[in-house]
Structure 1
């Protein structure tokens, strides 16, 4: 086991997170990281779903299929970006012993999936 101290805050990335507060219980940081990685997996699934939808052309009107595919890919990209900012906000709050910020991805993601489902359904009805 390595007993060396962790690197100084000025050498850890991102400094906007690690340059504040004190080292928290590692379990909290690791839980925050697992949440971040779960959102990244969700992001990858959305992008893959958008690519698959467009590539497979599964009996859906082309305009609706393209709109749904683009919506999924863009949502995947946005989820990845927001996941990073959410991770940093939560980590900074943990380090400063402040209340955690409210989750920010649930409602927008649910709306994007709902709109995608409507587009695919409408595209199947028109085709």
Structure 2
């Protein structure tokens, strides 16, 4: 058995479209909107709304979602804090860090943070 390859996290193969409704539900439960969730995703990844819809329609997995992102926002490195008990800035695996950046932004939205603060400016 070849152990030279690390086992991929299960989330990498999950369809982004399968998780997306959970982001919307989390936001809407706290009085936020789908439009705000989409704005966060577009800010983080550089996808336009049409491209984001294509990702959802084609059920692209998380790995491809981030690999194919048109322009990952350079300000995303300003995202700090804890998601799922792990400090985002301490995550070493690049793809997991991108996923947790998105999780953190959705958490901040659900906690009532203003969009101006969520969409960090350098």
Q: Judge same fold: TM > 0.5, yes or no.
A: no
Q: State TM-score, norm by structure 1.
A: 0.30
The structure that is helix-richer by fraction is: 1
